[in-house]
Amino acid sequence: MYAAFARVAGGIAVAANAAGTFVVIILIAVVNYDIIARGFFNRPFLGAVEVVQFSMVLIVFLQLPDVIRVGRLTRSEGFLGPLIRSSPRAGGMLSRAIDFLSAVFMLLVAIAIWPEFLEMWEGNHYFGVPGVFTAPWWPVKLVIFLSACLCTIHFLIHIYTQSGDHDPHLESGT
């Protein structure tokens, strides 16, 4: 049952990563359109700045769970790597402690963002310049919430799969 759960969580993380990549492609198209429209037609894309801001948050939070899943999250391998090699038990314990604290932090992010999502959803809050370009805030808040939940799950999966002398982060080259 654990393997099936981990497989489903991994599949969701991969799908979110793909969605984040799609947002990058859209962002490239928007920026290129703005440059061409501004340079050749003197008609810039109104709202390009807002789309870029919106997209950057989406990209980070859509791709973060898969980064955690594959063990590519930035860690201090200059300290942790040699510790795991010289003292596998202590290094493994520290690695699990880091993953646990990271899971707690992401859970706190999810808990903190949920009321904001509800407020944005119910209040129809928008960002941008009214009459020029506006977009609702709630999709960003929802992506942050779901991403934080999925990140928490993947940190917990890492903790569960690590033994005292085995660190999948190091074996994957991170």
pLDDT tens, residue by residue, 115-162: 999 999 999 898 888 888 888 999 999 999 999 999 999 999 999 988
Rounded distance, CA 96 to CA 100, Å? 6
Q: What are phi and psi of 129, to 5 degrees?
A: -110, 115
Query: 141 — alpha (psi -120 to 50), left (phi > 0) or beta?
Result: alpha
pLDDT in the model for residue 163:
52
Contact 119, 125 (CB under 8 A): yes
